[in-house]
A and B are shown apart, each in its own frame.
Chain A
Amino acid sequence: MAQVLEIRWHGRGGQGAKTAAILLGEAAASVGKYIQAFPEYGPERMGAPVLAFNRISDEPVRVHCHVANPRIVVVLDPTLIGKNDVTSGVPEDGVYLVNTNLTPAEMRAKLKVKGGKVYTVDATQISIDTIGRAIPNTPMMGALIRATGLMTLEEFIADTRHKLEMKFRSKPEVIEGNIKAIERAYQEVQSE
């Protein structure tokens, strides 16, 4: 099987897990990667736990089944930990990126994982500071780019800025806020 990087996003309805997966997929595609980005569609309710997925590869992605063994797990809402099994199917050397004000060591204890790598970033605070609202998905993408080295920060920002400009043409402050959030999270993400 071709080398495919599989990512699972955990969030709550309304936090932008699906949007994050889509934006990441588009950004990866913009630098020539083959991608998939899709949510798990259930009853769509604000606040309900939701999942979204990415596959990223240098070769065409053909599989159309769910992601069962993600190497990377992104948790947009730390209150999900303990209630949902965010470690399910993740290999020993899996990578976790959690939106929290805890340190990676503290988070590792909460996740109860031994191997792999744990990254943390306070994406909620960053989004409040930069965008003015608690929407952690864009800063989490900045942290993810840092943690995975999928592409350079400049490449990611260029593609995301383009997307934001299409959506928020009349609200430049939203665009700048999001870009700042991505940059700050990229800088502030902590690893062990």
Chain B
Amino acid sequence: MSKRVAITGNEAVAQAMRQINPDVVAAYPITPQTEIVQIFSTFVADGDVDTEFVTVESEHSAMSATIGASAAGARAMTATSSQGLALMWEMLYIAAGLRLPIVAPVVNRALSAPINIHCDHSDTMGARDSGWIQLYSENAQEAYDNLIQAVRIAEHADVQLPVMVCMDGFIVSHGMENAELLDDDVVRSFIGQRTPKHSLLDVDRPATFGALDFADWYFEHRRQLAEAQTHVKGVVLDVAKEFAKVSGRSYDLFEAYRLDDAELAVVVLNSAAGTAKEVVDDLRDKGMKAGLLKIRLFRPFPHEEIVAALAGKKAIAVLDRADGLSTMGGPVFVDVRSAMYDAPGPKMVNYIYGLGGRDIDTEQIAGVYWDLARIAETGKVTSPVTYLGVRE
């Protein structure tokens, strides 16, 4: 039986990795991810897993080794944060382009400069168009559950794409919370064995990986990559359905919290969603029709479902923990607003919050809802993009 334990996000993710028992893990330490592979390395040393643990000299090498292992047919994982993810950059695209089902927890941390170790989403948001699937997690429980489901999603025959499982640095990675862990055998039977159709070590059916692909076929292979993305949401839902059977916890493409009859909606992802739910409950008690949409699957972007959930609202605020620096708002805002173009109605505004670990509290989020109430009443947007919580 699964049991509820007190655990940090990093510990929960390391436990999930132990239960997944990957063939190969190649990783390099970086705060606040370090603990994950540090804890995992003790499982390797104690013989709790069969994993070949590769210590590398950089994140670029970590991703390179993971790619090589995955191409060789292994179930391969790595983990990183911030600058580490940035250093993996060119290899991220190769992992996706070669259609390798790598799974990597990423602990969200701000990118330099100025140097900062705390949470924001500029690292994974920058990697959003690399072809990786991105799942975002509100708390330790979701990070754990998402990581286990990610293995199935990544390796699904219709998908075959790498998956990033994101959680907030320190807030979730180092904060202790309650989570229910599944039994080892439940996880192992849920994820099963990886059965790659082609692999470098399959000498009976040799295959060339990474061959030159010029103007003659590159476009076709990228078109396949785009096609695979369209299969992702169906697979995410199917895997979630099966996961619910073994865990009792249900997942969707996003969580709609008191959203059905809401007139004012906030869109947010990761840990601030929990804080926002408290605000929604409080404002509902005060008579405001407030609701929340917490995105879980951000890449590929489930635009049809999000539009259906947000259509007809009076005003919507998208909260971004990363700035797009385009002068037209953060990445989540740009996507949501673009998706809503064909569903006219709601006024939409963007709040950039929490950069570099700046706290966001219930009062600030309540302030966003009150702004939305004013916008809904007047029909006027005075500030499309607001920096929430910055010292003026």
Chain A residues packing against B (C-beta within 8 Å): 1, 21-22, 25-26, 28-30, 34-39, 41, 60-66, 68
Contacts of A68 in B (CB 8 A): 361
Overall SS of chain A's interface: mixed
User: Pick the contact of A62 from B6, B118, B171, B274 — CB < 8 Å?
Assistant: B274
Task: List 24 A–B pairs whose Cβ atoms lie within 8 Å, in order of A's numbering.
Answer: A1-B282, A21-B176, A25-B6, A26-B176, A28-B6, A29-B4, A30-B6, A35-B176, A35-B178, A36-B175, A38-B174, A38-B176, A41-B174, A61-B177, A61-B178, A63-B278, A63-B362, A64-B168, A64-B175, A64-B271, A64-B272, A64-B275, A66-B361, A68-B361
Contacts of B139 in A (CB 8 A): 62, 64
Chain B residues packing against A (C-beta within 8 Å): 4-6, 117-118, 139, 168, 170-172, 174-178, 271-272, 274-275, 277-278, 281-282, 359-362
Query: In the bound complex, do residue B6 and residue A37 qualify as a contact, i.e. CB atoms below 8 Å apart?
Result: yes
Contacts of B171 in A (CB 8 A): 38, 64
How far, in Å, is B115 (CB) from chain A's closest CB? 12
Contacts of A35 in B (CB 8 A): 6, 176-178
Q: Of all chain B residues, which has the CB nearest A41?
A: B170
Known: A63-B274, A64-B171. A1 touches B176 (CB 8 A): no
Query: In the bound complex, do residue B275 and residue A29 qualify as a contact, i.e. CB atoms below 8 Å apart?
Result: no
How long is the Cα–Cα vector from A28 to B274 in the complex, in angstroms? 21
Contacts of A41 in B (CB 8 A): 117-118, 170, 174
Overall SS of chain B's interface: mixed
Q: Of all chain A residues, which has the CB nearest B179?
A: A29
Query: In the bound complex, do residue A26 and residue B278 qualify as a contact, i.e. CB atoms below 8 Å apart?
Result: no
Contacts of B172 in A (CB 8 A): 64
How long is the Cα–Cα vector from A30 to B271 in the complex, in angstroms? 24
How long is the Cα–Cα vector from A21 to B174 in the complex, in angstroms? 12
Contacts of A62 in B (CB 8 A): 139, 274-275, 277-278
How far, in Å, is A51 (CB) from chain B's closest CB? 12
User: Assuming A41-B117, A68-B361, what are 20 further A-B pairs, CB within 8 angstroms?
Assistant: A1-B281, A25-B176, A26-B6, A30-B6, A35-B176, A35-B178, A36-B175, A36-B176, A38-B171, A41-B118, A62-B274, A62-B277, A63-B275, A63-B362, A64-B172, A64-B272, A64-B274, A65-B275, A65-B360, A66-B361
